[in-house]
Amino acid sequence: MKQHYTVVHTGDASKKLKRDALSSLALLSDNLKQGKNSIIFGNRLYNLGCLDAFRFLVEGLDDCPLAYRNLILNSAHTIHRNCAVTVPLYLAALQYFLGCVNPPELEQIEADLLKLLITKKRVASTSAKRQWKKAVYDNQILENFDFLSEALDVAGALGTIEIKQDKYFCLEVYDGVQISAHLSPVFAARISPLIELSDCKIVVVDGIIKDVSSLNRLLVYASESKTNVALFATGFSDDVLNTLIQNWIQGRLSALPMVFNNDLNDVNQLYDFSKIIGSTPVTKDNGLTLSTISEEDIPSIKKISVNNFKRTCDLTCDEQTLTRVFNLRVELQAKKLEENIQDIQNIISTRLAKLASRKVVIKVPCDPEELGILQDRIASLLTFVKCCAIQQVITTEDLNSFLKLDLPPQYPQILPAGAVKLSIRRAFSDYHHISKIGALILTD
């Protein structure tokens, strides 16, 4: 029988593990800077560079003690989601702090960072894209950089970019917003989990639709006028679902029972949705009922696309609806700036993300195994340009001299200030936690 051992490292043994962790980080950073590591996806060999730093850490920190590894990967993941290009900065800063005998205090570091800001104006997207390009190792991306640049310009500041696999490079553009709602599972199982309807009337109900009789007037109107309808509510009774299913099967009308998702980030979904389509929801508070609403007052959407596998619903909007989306984004951005509680700021950020007014789908020729790394690299372009556009910037040269960092030579010459501050703050915090660990318990 195999025996398992638990070993506790303290004192000099614990210090040695910290030195080993620092040496491991230094080796990883050197390999990253020199492009020595590669990985095979599908039929292609990918050299791992600055844009792949988080993936590089996940694969390369296996020998690091678990306590240090989890700490570093948690910070690297947070920084990667914010701005992937600044993960190497986090690694360089962490190495610097761990190697210092008396590192400066965080308050002094942040005060000095403010002095490095080179402009209070927004950086042009062309400059940001040119700087990002310096960190690219992938010939496929370099060869199609103009194509990706065009996609970013088409998406604009309020847009999102999605990367899909295909035979050829091409762009697809969708104007609209994404709603956190899904087809009732009973309806999706009987009809289809994937549905698209054009020129669709939208009815929003704050509550459960229980009685078929309350829908009679609306369904008769939809049937006689051959109008598509989507009913958004928090739930539907079995009688209502059976009525909608039978009418759909018999071809009498197309009416979708849409259920709002009930996650924490979706608590304001009904309010936001009603506002952007210009509708007043049916609630007990305002006295509206399904049987009394006027057909002329029910707003329409150019197209609704439902995907129950992803539990999402995409709306293609007209100019008037997009204007309301823009106004709501302005309102939410103002609320986010005024809010001091981080959890509420995160919820508002999620609401803003769903109100992107344009989605650009980039179709990339690749094997299924390659899609993940290509998505990471192309998404890093979008986040880098957006961060540079909304934040002030700091030059890499100033950072190198400020903290004696040894950043890769192919690194961008400017970095978004907010992302820099996050990376250095997380590096300083992790340095403090690693320094305070006095004992490590290793299980064989």
| Residue 148 pLDDT > 90 | no
CATH of 6-121+388-443, one of 1.10.560.10, 3.90.550.10, 3.40.190.10, 3.40.50.1100: 1.10.560.10
For residue 203, what pLDDT is reported? 93
pLDDT in tens, 341-389: 877 888 887 777 777 656 788 888 888 887 888 888 888 888 888 888 8
pLDDT in tens, 311-340: 878 888 777 887 888 888 888 888 887 887
Tell me which residue has tokens 């880098």: 384
CA-to-CA dists, residue 125 to 107, 155, 163, 426, 430, angstroms? 31, 12, 20, 27, 33
CB 57 within 8 A of CB 430: no
Q: Which residue has the higher pLDDT, 217 or 139?
A: 217
| Residue 3 pLDDT > 60 | no
Mean pLDDT for the stretch of residues 233-241 = 94
For residue 235, what pLDDT is reported? 93
Mean pLDDT lowest for which of 87-91, 261-265, 278-282?
Answer: 261-265
For residue 178, what pLDDT is reported? 79
DSSP helix/strand/coil, 76:
helix
pLDDT in tens, 113-123: 777 776 555 67
**Which of 233, 198, 171 has the alpha carbon at shortest distance from 318?**
198
Alpha-helical segments (H) within 164-311: 185-190, 216-224, 238-249, 269-277
Positive or negative, the CA dihedral 80, 82, 85, 91 is: negative
Q: Which residues of 334-359 are buried (b: 16+ CB within 10 A; e: fewer)?
A: eebeeeeeeeeeebbeebbebbbbbb
Give the C-alpha separation, 318 to 301, whole Å. 7
Q: Which residue has the higher pLDDT, 60 or 308?
A: 308
Taking only Cα atoms into account, the Rg of the chain, rounded to an integer number of angstroms, comes to: 26
Strand partners, 315: 177, 304
| Residue 33 pLDDT > 50 | yes
Tell me which residue has tokens 């909608």: 244
What is the side-by-side strand order in the sheet with 181-183? 159-166, 358-365, 170-179, 312-316, 300-307, 194-204, 228-233, 255-260, 181-183
Give the C-alpha separation, 201 to 409, whole Å. 56
Q: Which residue has the higher pLDDT, 442 or 276?
A: 276
> 58, exposed or middle or buried, with CB in 10 Å at 0-12, 13-18, 19+?
middle
Tokens of 21: 């962790």
For residue 26, what pLDDT is reported? 73
| Residue 241 pLDDT > 90 | yes
Tell me which residue has tokens 């509680």: 341
Mean pLDDT across the chain, nearest whole number?
81
**Which of 305, 404, 316, 337 has the alpha carbon at shortest distance from 92?**
404
Residue 5 confidence class, pLDDT cut points 50, 70, 90: very low
Sequential DSSP letters for 214-230 = GGHHHHHHHHHTT-EEE
pLDDT in tens, 171-194: 777 667 778 889 999 999 999 999
Mean pLDDT for the stretch of residues 133-146 = 81
Query: In the chain, which segments carry CATH 3.50.7.10?
Result: 177-338
For residue 230, what pLDDT is reported? 94
Mean pLDDT for the stretch of residues 421-436 = 85
| Residue 407 pLDDT > 80 | no
Say what the pTM is.
0.61
For residue 280, what pLDDT is reported? 84
For residue 157, what pLDDT is reported? 60
Query: In the chain, which segments carry CATH 1.10.560.10?
Result: 6-121+388-443
91-100, 223-232, 302-311: which has the highest mean pLDDT?
A: 223-232
Mean pLDDT for the stretch of residues 212-221 = 91
Confirm or reject CATH 3.40.190.10 for domain 177-338, answering yes or no: no
CB 128 within 8 A of CB 416: no
Tokens of 425: 């703050």
Mean pLDDT for the stretch of residues 93-116 = 79
| Residue 441 pLDDT > 60 | no
DSSP helix/strand/coil, 315:
strand
> 224, exposed or middle or buried, with CB in 10 Å at 0-12, 13-18, 19+?
exposed
Percent of the chain scoring above 70 in pLDDT = 87
